[in-house]
Amino acid sequence: MEAKNTITSADSSGDPYYLFGWDHPGMQLTNKHFNGMNYPNWSKSTHMALGAKSKLGFVDGLLDKLAEGTIELQKLIRCDYMVRCRILNSIASEISKSFMYVQSAKELWEELVE
């Protein structure tokens, strides 16, 4: 008897808008917390984690804004919120408070680079 593949095509497609059932805003991307002094290591670790989840396009600008009212735009907004939450969760709490009002994951990343 042939074993069935339990990963669906939606899981393995690399769709940046796909969220797994266990994805939630409280998850951290990495065990390294940005503390204001360790940006190079934190950044590299965070980039790898986002890339592994097909979410790097939310911070590097590869995912452009989509037309208003489309299902894809709703998916983009939902995933962008998730990426922002995860990045904020990987920043020391005394620092993350100053980034709560950024408008996108890309904007958050750009602020952290500065």
* Mean pLDDT computed over 27-51: 91
pLDDT at 5 over 50: no
Q: How far apart are the first and last CA of the chain?
A: 57
pLDDT digits (tens, 9 = 90+) for 43-95: 999 999 999 888 999 998 887 666 567 778 888 889 999 999 999 999 999 99
* Entry pTM: 0.80
Buried b (16+ CB within 10 A) or exposed e, 19-58: eeeeeeeeebbbebebeeeeeeebeebbbebbeebebbbb
Measure Cα distances from 100 to 29, 38, 45, 103, 114 in Å: 17, 20, 21, 9, 16
Calculate the average pLDDT of the chain: 83
| Helix, strand or coil, per DSSP, at residue 6 | coil
Closest CA to 113 of 34, 22, 29: 34
Question: Which range has highest mean pLDDT (6-10, 24-28, 81-85)?
Answer: 81-85
Residue 18: predicted pLDDT: 85
* pLDDT at res. 2: 42
Which of 45, 35, 28 lies closest to 90, judged by CA? 28
- Residue 13, pLDDT > 60, answer no
34 Ramachandran zone, left/alpha/beta (phi>0; psi -120 to 50): beta
